[in-house]
Structure 1
């Protein structure tokens, strides 16, 4: 099944792939989503959930699946990428996104599908599966983020800043010291209550902080993210984190793992993930007996990290082989 694999800087991926279908889907509330399908139109269906919130999908995300076997569905979540309106937080919550995933499944005529996601995409995949366990056939998760207070404290409260003080100084230094007790709230005021030009300036700082720590190779450095991308990414991510993922209580995902006790999953985690440390992946695996956890020993957070891509492709290939040629769940 690996006859088409290519060795790239991102690991063993399938070759670049063009969609066989692109469409826009009206999901209500004034939101219109960009949706694409790749691979085998009659293949095993898998929904790919991007990170952020607000990151948008990319061509690389198509390449973790054997295109002869998988029907790969990607879409840009509300407010980001090619979906419209851009950078909008109106009617944009976790529960709207869960509803959108279900609407797309029905719209595409799919009964059950696998779900693939990393970082926020892993969070959303877990919440979707907990809400609709009968529709989730398998979960492929990377860089686990459980939307818990301790994780936000680590990344926005100075925990990881102790390892990358120069990058932290750039991020926190945008805000007066008197507001450093809650940088999420401080950035929220500047991302939503200032003129557009100021929003972009703070959005770039917010996005650059995360980008600087996504890869081991980045070593705390980040290029300047584009203004429009950064504005959507920062506004949406901050909006979701301000509202703690719109979950009823801290630890909601782990409290509801019994709902997916019969849903199998593969978890791939970088040992040196500075954005989503491995403790969350370990806690998830301990509470979800149907999942297996693989640690990539020299990898950080990004999808392209050494070992991450290889483990994810191996997982999707293994599930495809287990179907014994029957391309449905």
Structure 2
């Protein structure tokens, strides 16, 4: 009887180890952990006769370099993105693109193109003495990361890309019509209430024209309309709002720069990134996308994955644009782990 009891007790213990692992929740929390990160250096780098770029460093000065890129033209890197990286292991670099955030002159459009941003990224890398870096980019940042890696593959140890945007005409159209128009018709109708396709080649050009009017009431009105629409199409009104601490002037500059870039087809030839994508085949790349991201649908992530030999794809259910759900955090952590394990 005593022996039978001992055998049953042993079986319960073994089964509990496999099916009721007491460390399971702790391991899960560790995988999805967001770290406390604070900057140890904040500086300005002059990159042209006009522009001065703000950058900051966090984490371990001798750690693995990771450069976090803006998610949108005109929008500084949200603090939450730095928190994916263990400050004991990573040297974390962020910078405000031309005309954005603490970079000066604020809202400046001259000498402000996509190729200028890629050039600035290279200047920052050289200035900081970084040999190779992991590039972490979402949406617009995924475009900048791929463009930089296509031009300077020898300087990139890995790519962690989320909410994929390649800057194609099709991708841009998803922002201004298509799903945005279908899912949020009231907000869409508001920003195109007087759109005239005889005078403007695109909705983005129409909005940009309103934002450069001398009449400040017109500027303010269309800034508010654009912000309202943008919050809806990115799910920022539900999941995470990176604009909540931005003042009126910063919101205006965000709307201005966003529509300036998109009205100029982000200064790229159509499908430019995809046509040169073979250059990235030797760079490990994690591709992460929320299944219900209406402005960067998962089809784009799948297509990119199919073109890259050394990539791993994460399509995340019950998630939209921002990597803030537990499932998206887990995917980002897994993607980063994959890239680091494959990086040369």
Q: TM-score, normalised by structure 1?
A: 0.88
Is residue 192 from structure 1 mapped to residue 212 from structure 2 by the alignment?
yes
| Alignment-derived partner of residue 190 in structure 2 | 170
- Identify which of structures 1 and 2 has the higher relative contact order when contacts are C-alpha pairs closer than 8 Å and 6+ apart: 1
Task: Give the secondary structure class of the aligned counterpart of 1:28.
Answer: coil
Q: Kindly report structure 1 stretches of 4+ aligned residues shifted beyond 6 Å.
A: 3-6, 176-181, 221-225
* 1:229 pairs with one of 225, 250, 256: 250
* 1:14 pairs with one of 11, 27, 34: 34
| Alignment-derived partner of residue 309 in structure 1 | 329
Q: Distance in 2 between matches of 1:109 and 1:131?
A: 18
Which structure's CA Rg is the greater one? 2
Structure 2: gaps spanning 5 or more residues: 1-24
* Displacement of 1:29: 3.1
Is residue 279 from structure 1 mapped to residue 304 from structure 2 by the alignment?
no
* 1:131 pairs with one of 131, 151, 154: 151
| Alignment-derived partner of residue 49 in structure 2 | 29
CA deviations 1:147-201 (Å, max 9, x no partner) are 1111222221344311222232233336469778731121121112333443232
Alignment of structure 1 residues 240-251 onto 2, 5 Å? 240-247=261-268, 249-251=269-271
| Alignment-derived partner of residue 70 in structure 1 | 90
| Alignment-derived partner of residue 285 in structure 2 | 265
* Displacement of 1:43: 0.3
Q: Is the 8 A contact 1:29 1:91 kept in 2?
A: no
CA, structure 1 residues 180+46, in 2 after alignment: closer, same or farther (shift >3 Å)? Answer: same
Q: Is the 8 A contact 2:35 2:86 kept in 1?
A: no
| Alignment-derived partner of residue 130 in structure 2 | 110
Greater shift after overlay, 181-190 or 259-268? Answer: 181-190
Greater shift after overlay, 229-238 or 105-114? Answer: 229-238
Is residue 90 from structure 1 mapped to residue 113 from structure 2 by the alignment?
no
Task: Give the secondary structure class of the aligned counterpart of 1:110.
Answer: coil
CA deviations 1:102-146 (Å, max 9, x no partner) are 000000011111100001000110111011111111000010001
Q: Is the 8 A contact 2:157 2:284 kept in 1?
A: yes
Cα RMSD (Å) of the superposition? Answer: 2.9
Q: Distance in 2 between matches of 1:214 and 1:154?
A: 11
Q: Is the 8 A contact 1:48 1:115 kept in 2?
A: yes
* 2:225 pairs with one of 201, 205, 209: 205
Q: Is the 8 A contact 1:208 1:222 kept in 2?
A: no
* Displacement of 1:89: 0.9
Q: Distance in 1 between matches of 2:262 and 2:227?
A: 14
Greater shift after overlay, 149-158 or 191-200? Answer: 191-200
* Displacement of 1:81: 1.1
Q: Distance in 2 between matches of 1:158 and 1:312?
A: 28
Is residue 49 from structure 1 mapped to residue 42 from structure 2 by the alignment?
no
Structure 1: gaps spanning 5 or more residues: none
Q: Is the 8 A contact 1:118 1:141 kept in 2?
A: yes
